[in-house]
Structure 1
Amino acid sequence: MRSLPNFRLSESSPTAHLFLDIEIGDYHRAARHVSMLDWVDGAEREEWEERVMDGRGTRAARHALLAKLAAEHGVAVQLMLGIYEMNEANTPGAGKVLRRFGLTEVLDADCHLRYGGERFLFTPGPRMEERVFLEERRIEPDHIGAYKLAIYQRHLWNWALARNLEIGAAWEARQACIAALAPALVGR
């Protein structure tokens, strides 16, 4: 987190109040707080800011909240959507599940932050340094729901077709990986 800027949270920022109300007064402390929350699947669809502050949220929702907080303070921290092949190397524990489906990888989508050319991941689990993104694009915090899902599903469709897999089987493998990894992500 050394190269990620730190700044005092301003009373004029609506998002900052979510942190100021629990006596978190700077960006680095906000990032640490968000990184320690319980993980849940699918919480970003509605009221994701409040769900994160209630102590749970998806990887996308956590990063969207931090990107929004930075933007409200005029700091150019970007929310990024990355499409990558989840495998044992970049997501420990996924390999065992993937083998049940006869796969060594499956396509996944995840959000992270970018600042000064460096990527930042504030969730446990997947290893950022092991990921090779097939696509990486900047998105807005309000894009973490249907927009993110549509991009991912388009990529998953093409990925599955190129491998003669049924889209449903690819989706099932991805969901099984997420379900298997969830216990390791809760309470961290």
Structure 2
Amino acid sequence: MQPYTVFPDKPIMDNGPMARTFLSMDIDDFHHACRYVHELPYGYNSDREDPMILFKEKMGSCTTKHAVIATLATELEIAIDKHIGIYAMIEALVTGTKPILDRYNLPYLPMVHCFLVFEDQRVDLSEGNQNGKNGPIDDFLYTEKVTANISGKDEYLLYRKALNAHILPRLEFDGIAIKTILKAREEGITLLRANIQK
């Protein structure tokens, strides 16, 4: 992943609700907006479907942080897209993963993370945050471009589709049912939430 400074900088003009929100906070250029979002504490918002929840709760997850900046980029006509990726969650990346893998007999736990893409550069505005992980995610099993404010339901459906098409056919998942991965995923989400509090 690259720092947000790989993005082109641009003055924020009153081109939409996201731009107006940043301007109301005296944030008047794109890089400053990225820095503001990156420096906000990492946390799971109460309503990920609300595009302004990050400002109301003064924190955000990879989902809401990247939704805000991708939306602002669209308003400013900067060619930045939000992508989701499925990564291999293991003990080295997320402390406490091994018991889950052992319980479900999995080689790793396929989990969703999101990031921004400009040209061929990937940027994660939650990298370096207290986000439940021991380091950055640089390798993905599968990635796909999505809308900035993809709903939780649509993201879950995309995840299931990617599991069936791209993850389960892998040799290391031979004989493992999708329902096993989905049950383990719920425990993985609980673990990540718990790790943020530590």
Q: TM-score, normalised by structure 1?
A: 0.81
Distance 2:144 2:99 in 1: 28
Q: How far apart are the structure 2 equivalents of 1:69 and 1:122? A: 14
Q: Tell me the C-alpha RMSD between the 2 structures.
A: 2.6
Structure 2 partner of 1:139: 146
Among candidates 126, 137, 144, match of residue 128 of structure 1:
137
Moved over 4 A (4+): none
Distance 1:186 1:116, change over 3 A: farther
| Alignment check: 8 A CA contact 2:62 2:113 kept | yes
What are the equivalent positions in structure 2 for 1:34-49 lying under 5 Å apart?
34-35=37-38, 36-40=40-44, 43-44=47-48, 46-47=49-50, 49=51
1:156 maps to 163
d(CA) in 1 for partners of 2:52, 2:23: 14
> What does residue 170 of structure 1 align with?
181
User: Which residue does the alignment assign to 2:190?
Assistant: 179
State the partner residue of 1:77: 80
Distance in 2 separating the partners of 1:122 and 1:186: 19
Consecutive unaligned residues in structure 2, runs of 5 or more? none
Alignment gaps of 5+ in structure 1: none
- Deviation per residue, 1:28-87 (Å, 9 max, x gap): 22222222234116732x21x121111233312211111110111111011112122222
Q: What's the CA shift for 1:180?
A: 1.7
The whole-number CA distance in structure 1 between the counterparts of 2:122 and 2:26 is 27
Identity of aligned pairs, percent? 23
Could you say which residue in structure 1 is the equivalent of 2:15?
A: 12
Counterpart amino acid of 1:37?
A: P
Give the aligned residue type for 1:128: I
Q: Which digits, 9 at most, give the CA deviation of each residue in 1:127-163, with x for residues without a partner?
A: 222x2x2322211113243222111022335645843
Aligned position for 2:69 = 66
Q: How many residues align?
A: 182
Partner SS state of residue 53, structure 1: helix
